[in-house]
Amino acid sequence: MKMRAFQQGVWGDDPDSCGLIEVDRPVPAPTEILVKVAAAGVNPVDHYTRLGVAYNRVLSLPFVNGWDVAGVVEEIGYGVTLFRPGDRVFGMPWFPRQAGAYAEYVTAPSRHFALMPAGLSFVEAAALPLAGLTAWQMLVDVGQVQAGQRVLVTAAAGGVGHLAVQVAKAHGAHVIGTARAAKHRFLESLGVDEAIDYTTSDIPEVIRDVDLVVQMFGGEQALQTMTCLRPGGLMVNSQGAWTPGMGLRAAELGVRAAAFLVEPDAAGLENLGELIEAGDLRVHVDRELPLTAALEAHELMASARTTGKVVLTIDHEEGQ
């Protein structure tokens, strides 16, 4: 059987190098599930992967982009006990290997998925996995956030940032978030205690003695943000691979720094689902676009001006 997928033939930004084509529909191996994709979240890593500057050591062409998936279990492979056909699931399968979320169907290990939280739409669920797991793992698994701690979230109105703010608040932290002034009201609606305009303020000058930094930018900016930490405080840097000298600078300042890359994590998805159902977490979708507009979605993400997430919706052809 065939399906449609948004496939890329050459690394780079040439729009003619990718497009919607027909490919063989995958078949679930033992312990895998086949998911009929209803929506696929878009993340900055999708854009940079397309350009050929991120994680290509585990990817090859032709390549179907995307890792955020929400949809319905169509078929289960031998040995699967967690799900059955008809279940509504969401996940971030295979990352950083190819998941192929920009397609009508995806196969992956069943334990890369979780049941969708009650009341969540497919679009909202597709916006959650990669960004939500990044926020959860940075704050909880690595940062071990505690009630009463002062937490700085950079790019707090972005896809990861707006979820990290809420995860930190749900754990009782005092949250400081950076964003342009136009987005401060949005941050306040999420529970941010202090909103700082990074375009008019020198962050290391105005923010001091925080326990934990959730850092969304690498390079010199990350090195400077380390000075916001109290002695012994921790920066968890999602762009650590692009921050040379991070460990040395942390030692000089008497703080700690950890480079981070998100991993598939069903337990983390379940924890995020519990926060959703308790009313402590909501995902903000800035824009919905059809699968055919994947390149437009990438440009939106690359602009760094979106609030929350961009999601592609999958309109299955009749009979698919």
The tokens describing 192, both together, are 């941010």
pLDDT at 153: 98
Q: How far apart are CA 156 and CA 152, in angstroms?
A: 9
Rg (CA), the chain: 19
How does DSSP classify residue 291? G
**Cβ–Cβ contacts within 10 Å for residue 239, how many?**
17
What is the Cα–Cα distance from 229 to 225, expressed in whole angstroms?
A: 8
| pLDDT for res 56 | 61
For the four alpha carbons of 82, 85, 86 and 89, in that order, the dihedral sign comes to: positive
- Check whether domain 2-128+283-313 has CATH 3.90.180.10, yes or no: yes
**β pairing state of 32-42 and 309-313:** antiparallel
Residue 40 region, left (φ>0) first, then alpha (ψ -120 to 50), else beta? Answer: beta
Is residue 208 exposed (0-12), middle (13-18) or buried (19+ Cβ within 10 Å)? Answer: exposed
Query: How high is the pLDDT of residue 99?
Result: 97
Note down pLDDT in tens along the chain; length 320 residues.
999 999 999 998 888 889 999 999 999 999 999 999 999 999 999 998 998 876 567 899 999 999 999 999 999 999 999 999 999 999 999 999 999 999 999 999 999 999 999 999 999 999 999 999 999 999 999 999 999 999 999 999 999 999 999 999 999 999 999 999 999 999 999 999 999 999 999 999 999 999 999 999 999 999 999 999 999 999 999 999 889 999 999 999 999 999 999 999 999 999 999 999 999 999 999 999 999 999 999 998 888 778 999 999 999 864 44
Cα separation of 263 and 283, whole Å? 20
Q: What is the pLDDT of residue 14?
A: 87
Both tokens assigned to 69: 């998936």
Q: What is the pLDDT of residue 319?
A: 41
* Fold of the CATH domain 131-259: Rossmann fold (3.40.50)
Question: At 142, is the secondary structure helix, strand, or coil?
Answer: helix
**How far is Cα 155 from Cα 140, in angstroms, rounded to an integer?**
18
| Structural domain spans, the chain | 2-128+283-313, 131-259
The per-residue pLDDT for 218 is 93
Residue 43 main-chain phi, psi, to 5 deg: -130, 160
Give 103's DSSP letter. Answer: B
